[in-house]
Amino acid sequence: MSKNEIVVKSGPLKGEIHIPGDKSISHRALLLSALADGPVEINGFLKGADPLETMACLRALGVKIDALSGDKLIVHGISGKFTKPKKPLYVGNSGTTIRILSGILAAQDFECEIAGDASINQRPMKRIVEPLSQMGAQLSGKVEKGQVFPPLKIKGAKLKGIKYKLPIASAQVKSSILLAGLFANGVTEVVEPDQSRDHTERMLKHFGVKIEQTERQIKLAGGQKLKGKTDILVPGDISSAAYLIAAAILVPGSALILRNVGLNPTRIGILEVLRRMGGGVEVLDEELLSEEPRGTLKVTNRKLKGIEIQGSLIPRLIDEIPVIAVLATQAQGDTVIKDARELRVKESDRIATVSGELKKMGVNITPTEDGMIITGGTKLKGTKVKSHGDHRLAMSLSIAGLIAEGKTEIEDTACVETSFPGFFKVLNSVKS
């Protein structure tokens, strides 16, 4: 159901917020728990639309999952011995679900179909079809202009380990290959051009899987079992925290405390960018639980300067680029974002949609083939803008609305439930 949200200029933001569970880790907690040889309790699970699609798919594959109070679940692991689903698996708008789950389905002894909504069915899948086919699985989909799109038909097979060099750094593709590798004969090796988020590798270690790992190379031997009867403590999602961080930095007089924020080194590119731009973010109380670092962030209003963002930093902040673009509108000088072509194939073409919607608010922003150039020092004006069904764009535009003159109306904000249920309620709770 479509829903619009109206945002007006805000006074100082004050208070403490407990950040909801990390979406990427919640997906992996479900999937790896299903591969374990016994029950796994998950605490801090994000009950967002995307992880719930992963849960529904696993239940359709014969996995029993008990939803306890709050953000707790128990997944009764069945060592990855799934049953053939009665109908095609549906992933909604979740690219993580379709790509990573396909790696597991590639090793099953049945054929099934997996698809999603209109957006997912336009997302490229050749990046997983090629390596999984090399391992011995049979995958097919809708072929257009040399690319493969869902729905995907996957016929599982006895897999063999391969060495695969990713053409583009992608945690989803890497994870798909590694989880297929658990069922393969021999060793599976993935080589990345730049290091992408490593939640899968960390969680595999938490379950007792032995892997060899350097910054850009991961190896694991097939046939390893994941140990059940354990707990997973999911940290808060730094991608969700990024919107509140940006709000506190941009709105004069603001000071926010954000608790339980995941601080995985492969995900904190946003903090590095803010330090370079002059933003005030202090990390407190850092600890390591379930192989994932987390801590408290203290954020205060600061003046920013434009910078260049490119290269190996991009995979560590790819999801935060829309809100970084909003921050850049208030920086002194230009901010240049390069090497982010991956934005073209997200929930929307984020290079085009971010640029187009911020232009409506008066921003001097130039889209490029692999990024954008944003001129800072802009006085934003409230107007009617569109989310394009993209949760990260919707939240980024809401942050822009906090500093814009007049009223900002964002069309179709129901998509925000994908990653940050209750986002607008949380945002309003810290407004003065």
Q: Kindly list the catalytic residues.
A: 319
8 A C-beta contact, residue 375 and residue 382: no
Q: Which residue has the tokens 């140990």?
A: 227
- Closest among 231, 371, 239, 353 to 310, alpha carbons compared: 371
Beta sheet of 230-233, edge-to-edge order: 64-67, 72-76, 39-43, 230-233
Helix, strand, coil percentages in the chain from 3-state DSSP, rounded to 5? 35, 30, 35
Query: Could you tell me if 393 and 353 are in contact, meaning their C-beta atoms sit under 8 angstroms apart?
Result: yes
In contact, 155 and 111? CB cutoff 8 Å: yes
Cβ 14 vs Cβ 256: under 8 Å: yes
DSSP 19: P
Residue burial 269-306, b: 16+ Cβ < 10 Å; e: rest: bbbebbeebebbbeeeeeeebbbbbbbbbebebeebeb
Q: Tokens at residue 237, please?
A: 């999602």
Residue 364 CA to residue 51 CA, distance in Å, equals: 36
The full 3-state SS of 182-213, as one line of letters, equals CCCECEEEEECCCCCCCHHHHHHHHCCCCEEE
Mapping DSSP to helix (H, G, I), strand (E, B) and coil, where does residue 305 land?
strand
Element (H, E) at 396: helix 391-402
d(Cα 170, Cα 164) in Å, to the nearest integer? 13
191 vs 217: CA distance, rounded Å? 5
For residue 70, what is the enclosing H or E element? none
Q: What SS3 class is residue 309?
A: strand
